[in-house]
Amino acid sequence: MRKHFTISFLSGLLFVLPGFAQQDPQFSQHMFTKLYYNPGFAGANDAICGTLLYRNQWTGFGGEPKTAMLTADMPFDALHGGIGLSVHALDNLGAGNSLNIKANYAYRADLGSGRIGIGIGIGYLQESLNGAKLVYNDVGDENIPTGTVSGGTYDLSLGVYYNTDDLYVGLSSTHLTANELKYADITTQIARHYFLMAGYNYEINSTLTLKPAIMLGYSYDITTSKIKTYSSGTHEIVLGYCMNVSKNVKRQFHRNVRFL
C-alpha cells in the first residue's frame, strides 16, 4: 500500500476590537493561546492539552511588561463538549499587577465537514498596585497608596469556534459585563473586548505530513518606535503538549432473523 504524507504549516490571524482601551494581553504566538480569548475552543483538539507561555516585553526598558499564562483543556463527553482552565498571572507593568482565572465550557457538535463549539467562560479578575514602587512629588498625599492595594470582580466571556482538519475560525468577547474594579481610591473600568481569529493549514505537496503533538515556540519582536534606544526587544516563549484521549467504543449486537 502506498503511503502519502503532507507537510502542513499553520498560519494564524487575530483581530482585536477593544471597547474603550486595550487591557487584555496580546501575544505574538496567539494561535497557541486560543482558549484564553475564546471559550468555544475548549475540547477542540479532542485531546488533553496544556500550554505555558511567558512574555517579557521591551527587555531592558525597566518596569517592562511581563506576562505568564497557563491554559489547559480536554474533551468531556458527559457534557457533550469540552472543559478548560486559563490562568493569566504575573502580568506586571511597573507598579501594577493583574490576575485573571477562568473556567471554560464549550458545547461541541458536528457542522458540515467540521465541528462547532459554543462556549462560556466564568472567572475572577483582580488588579493590584504596589504603592512602594511609585515615585511622586506630593509626599504624604493620602490618595496615593504607600503599600499594596488590590480589588477584584467576576468576569464573563462568550465565544464560538469552528474548525475542520485544515481551517479554524472563531468569534468571541471577553469582559462582557464591563464591570468597574475598585481598590483604595482607584477605579478601573474593565473594557469589553471582541476577538476574531482564523487560521489555515497549507498543504505544500502530497508526499509528507508533519503534525507534531508537542509545540515549542519562540518569538522576538524588534522595537521600531522611538523607545528602541531604551529597549532591546520583546521575548516570548511558549510550550504546549497534547495527549490523545482513548475513547471506549461500545459494542453493539444486532439480531439476524435467519439465525433466530
pLDDT tens, position by position, 36-52: 889 999 999 999 999 88
Q: Which amino acid is at 178?
A: A
Q: How many CB atoms lie within 10 A of CB 235?
A: 17
Residue 105 vs residue 55, higher pLDDT? 105
At residue 9 the predicted structure's pLDDT band, cuts being 50, 70 and 90, is very low
pTM exceeding the 0.75 threshold for the entire prediction: no
Are residues 71 and 239 in contact, defined by beta-carbon separation less than 8 angstroms? Answer: no
Q: pLDDT value at position 35?
A: 92
Q: Is the pLDDT of residue 246 over 70?
A: no
Segment among 110-114, 116-120, 125-129 with least mean pLDDT: 125-129
Calculate mean pLDDT across residues 59-87. 87
Q: For 134-192, write each residue's pLDDT tens digit.
A: 777 666 666 677 778 888 899 999 999 999 988 888 999 888 888 888 877 778 788 88
Residue 216 β-bridge partners: 239
Q: Is the pLDDT of residue 92 over 70?
A: no
* Contacts for 133-139: CB closer than 8 Å, 24+ residues apart: 133/94, 133/95, 134/95
Q: How far is 37 from 30, CA to CA, in rounded Å?
A: 9
Residue 12 vs residue 131, higher pLDDT? 131
C-alpha cell at 106: 464549550
Task: Name the percent of the chain lying above pLDDT 70.
Answer: 70
Q: pLDDT value at position 22?
A: 45
E strands within the chain?
Answer: 8-18, 47-56, 66-76, 81-93, 96-111, 114-130, 148-163, 167-174, 180-183, 186-189, 193-203, 214-221, 234-244
Q: Is the pLDDT of residue 210 over 60?
A: no
Q: How far is 67 from 27, CA to CA, in rounded Å?
A: 10
Q: pLDDT value at position 196?
A: 84
The rounded mean pLDDT for the chain is: 76
C-alpha cell at 118: 459554543
C-alpha cell at 190: 474593565
Q: How far is 203 from 179, CA to CA, in rounded Å?
A: 45
Q: How far is 17 from 22, CA to CA, in rounded Å?
A: 9
Q: How far is 133 from 147, CA to CA, in rounded Å?
A: 9
Q: Is the pLDDT of residue 253 over 60?
A: no
Q: Is the pLDDT of residue 89 over 80?
A: no
Q: pLDDT value at position 64?
A: 72
Q: Which amino acid is at 3?
A: K
Q: Is the pLDDT of residue 29 over 80?
A: no
Task: Spell out the domain ranges in the chain.
Answer: 8-259
Q: Is the pLDDT of residue 16 over 70?
A: no
Q: pLDDT value at position 183?
A: 78
